[in-house]
Structure 1
Amino acid sequence: MRRRRFLAVSAAATVGVSLPGSAAADQNVPVGQLLVGRLRDAMLGIGQDNQLPSPAQLPAELARAHTDFHTCHYTSLALRLPRLIRVGHSLSSDDSEHLIVLGQSYLLATRMLIKLDEQQLGWMAADRARQVAEAAEHPLSVAEAARNLAVLARRAGWEEQALSIALNAADAPGLRAPRGGAAERGLLIQSAAYSAARSGDGAGMRELTDEAAAIADGLGGSTALRDHGGGFSPATVQLHRISAEFSTGDPSAALAAARALPPQSLPSLERRARYYADVAAALAQRGRREECVRALLAAEHLAPQETHSRPAVRSLISGLLLSGRTTPELRALAARADALP
């Protein structure tokens, strides 16, 4: 009896558990924190959810989760994605279709956890995505899991290891399929380029980025793998080039890359918001504060939950408040993003 009471109290304190009063409490939790808490509990197999989809609904629910991600509706994603993981773990591991859905759910969870700078859970999700993809014998998912692992390694400061993970995965025989395989190889080469940039190798970064751009051009210019890596096209490669140039310590080159990219050519709101956030970071480095704030407001206008949730963007806003003259616009943005120092 004592143990049951203890478990009940623990469950009631868990974010995202379907217990009386939890919905009201969730309204006061920032969406990024809510999403992380629910993913954590689903991955650990604790808590409960009484509105899980049926196995037959999983493909449609996964498609809706991808749409939530692309449109930056993270409140909806905070419900849908943990449920996909919970149901996926309850099904037979012998069903390859269900394994693929679970693997895709973990890939999407990893991307969100990376975005929210949740490294520990990110490693856990990425490794599970890799294991499930290998069990399902799904080469594109195996490669995408490797790309996420490379991103996490780079964020841990292991640039050389991140470069090796990405380039080794790009050489996998499973990526010889004409379109999807080539696009995934391009995404991996992009990731390697970013790792080169973080290690200070600007020439290597540009060589690898040009290689990725050539692959994108060879695919005819349309977006591939929109639900499997954020999309791969000449426009997404150019978006990558902005942040890669910035990572080499050259904000002027980053802004030049941004001028060559119409943001409306990017395949999703999430990618367009990322464009404006990257431009804002480069403008801040150049001391162009007013233009930086305008770029941040453009990102917020497109995707408020994305802009308010990302730690990197909130840190940029806080830094602007501390480093110079503030304006009512900037203070209001900081309040909305919970970025007041």
Structure 2
Amino acid sequence: MSRTTEIDVPAVLRAARAVKQATLAEVGAHAGYSSSAMSRILNGRMAVGDVALRRIADFLEIPPQRLGLAPDPVRHASTSGLRSSVATRVTAGRESEGEVRRRRFFALGAAGAGAAVVGAGPAGAEPVDVPPGTDLLEQALFEPVAPVLLPDLPASLTRARADFRAARYDRLRATLPAIISGAQAERDAVSGLRRERANAALARAHVLATELAVKGSADYAWVTADRALSAARACGSPVVIGEAARVLAITMRRSGRIASAVQLLTTTATGLDGEDSADSLAVRTSLLLTAAYSAATGGNGSTAYDLAEEAERTAGRVPPGLVGELFTVEATAEQCALYRIGLATVLGDPDAGVQHALDLDPTRLPTKERRARYFTDTARMWDALDEDRRTYEALLAMERVAPEEVRRPSVRAVTARLVHSPARLPGLRPFAARTGALGA
């Protein structure tokens, strides 16, 4: 069977390998190729036949229709045709659980999410109605619809950014699939400077997707981070490349590849030496702060504090009156102080973080997402100091600022520990119940 030209087979293979975290040797051994041959296949420099591709797909658990190895009528059907087909299957009583998930995605992700992004008003508009337990973003990554151009991609991306900064994560998960699809469609339809801008938009959409995946401890962070960096490099902007490298390094760190994460971050930051624009200084600051935290998680305190100090010096070079602002965070003195709290706790010296926490006024942090990060870090700090009441107060403050943040797995773990502690904290169990921590 011939594969359709719209499928980027190497990209699908790279994403699946990232999710499985398989080595080139492991994939090659299953398909009968050397590691070097697999590298060429995954980078599109070597063609592969259908038989071998099926073996690779089997090992990486890729549905054959995703590689054009089996018919996928849903991909090419119109919305009305899709609904008709689904209705026929339901009537016949043969709709599988997988088909239910696909139907839910295409109905909500392709139509509902697209409408939500294109037709949404200000970022505070009504939330998108998504069934409980449905992650439209995850489904879109592995069962995407054919890309469809958005009427105004920049405006849609701006609204998505506003949702992230306001900690409206459920809405963002519902709207991002259409933005990613629209950015892909625009990139493929234009050339020159317009193509570079479309790649930048696609990279930043995947940066947002990675931020969401990290907050939810989702495995697909590897996929979105890889796609973010690929699109960023295609657009050529050092700032966008830095933003994408940062989220990829966070994913690396969380999988235990701390040294590699620090190297990626510091190398990318070094590449921005000599760049004095506010945005360039901002991305360099952010890379250094993330490198400092990554080094701290590896127990390397001296490197962590050296990197944090360099980040503070870089943030101080932002011209007066300007804000060093990235797509998701800022590079300010307050941001640097915020990282100091987390560094002290991770390095096993939470007492050192207390003064930073007391000195930092969270209202000076410009977004709800960053203010929630302040309360997350202070909750962990007080938890490490066995200050149960203060830990609980920080969690309640986080809920008031950004209710969706307290449902993060790492935050629920702190809440669950409080539930099982001897401390008597009024309202703790109802709080744990509404945030999902009782089962954590």
TM-score, normalised via structure 1 length: 0.88
Structure holding more helix per residue: 1
User: What residue identity is the alignment partner of 2:140?
Assistant: A
Q: 2: distance between equivalents of 1:289 and 1:64?
A: 38
Q: 2:352 aligns with which of 225, 239, 253?
A: 253
RMSD of the alignment, in Å?
Answer: 2.8
- CA distance 1:16–1:135, shift in 2 (3 Å): same
**Does the CA-based 8 Å contact 2:292-2:303 persist in structure 1?**
yes
- CA distance 1:130–1:271, shift in 2 (3 Å): same
Structure 2 unaligned residues grouped into runs of 5+: 1-70, 74-84, 114-128
User: What residue identity is the alignment partner of 1:72?
Assistant: A
Q: Aligned ranges for residues 1-341 of structure 1 at < 5 Å?
A: 5=89, 10-14=98-102, 16-18=105-107, 29=132, 33-34=133-134, 37-46=135-144, 54-93=149-188, 94=191, 95-118=195-218, 120-173=219-272, 176-219=275-318, 220=320, 223-226=323-326, 228-308=327-407, 310-341=408-439
Q: Secondary structure at the match of 1:17?
A: helix
Greater relative contact order (Cα 8 A, min sep 6): structure 1 or 2?
1
1:188-216 deviation per Cα after TM superposition (whole angstroms, max 9, x unaligned): 11111112211212222112111111111
| Offset of residue 56 of structure 1 | 3.2
| Offset of residue 123 of structure 1 | 0.9
Q: 1: distance between equivalents of 2:100 and 2:227?
A: 27
| Offset of residue 17 of structure 1 | 3.5
**Does the CA-based 8 Å contact 2:406-2:435 persist in structure 1?**
yes
Q: Secondary structure at the match of 2:337?
A: helix
**Does the CA-based 8 Å contact 1:140-1:174 persist in structure 2?**
no
Q: 2: distance between equivalents of 1:44 and 1:175?
A: 40
| Offset of residue 229 of structure 1 | 3.8
- CA distance 1:9–1:143, shift in 2 (3 Å): same
**Does the CA-based 8 Å contact 2:146-2:181 persist in structure 1?**
no
Q: Secondary structure at the match of 2:144?
A: coil
| Offset of residue 323 of structure 1 | 2.6
- CA distance 1:338–1:324, shift in 2 (3 Å): same
| Offset of residue 7 of structure 1 | 8.0
Q: 2: distance between equivalents of 1:153 and 1:40?
A: 19
**Does the CA-based 8 Å contact 1:17-1:48 persist in structure 2?**
no
| Offset of residue 89 of structure 1 | 2.4
Q: Secondary structure at the match of 1:287?
A: coil
Q: 1: distance between equivalents of 2:423 and 2:143?
A: 48
Q: How many residues align?
A: 328
- CA distance 1:9–1:289, shift in 2 (3 Å): closer
- CA distance 1:174–1:84, shift in 2 (3 Å): farther
**Does the CA-based 8 Å contact 1:334-1:340 persist in structure 2?**
yes
Structure 1 unaligned residues grouped into runs of 5+: none
**Does the CA-based 8 Å contact 1:175-1:182 persist in structure 2?**
no
Determine which structure has more spread, i.e. the larger CA radius of gyration.
Answer: 2
**Does the CA-based 8 Å contact 1:221-1:233 persist in structure 2?**
no
| Offset of residue 178 of structure 1 | 2.1
- CA distance 1:135–1:249, shift in 2 (3 Å): same
Q: Secondary structure at the match of 1:101?
A: helix
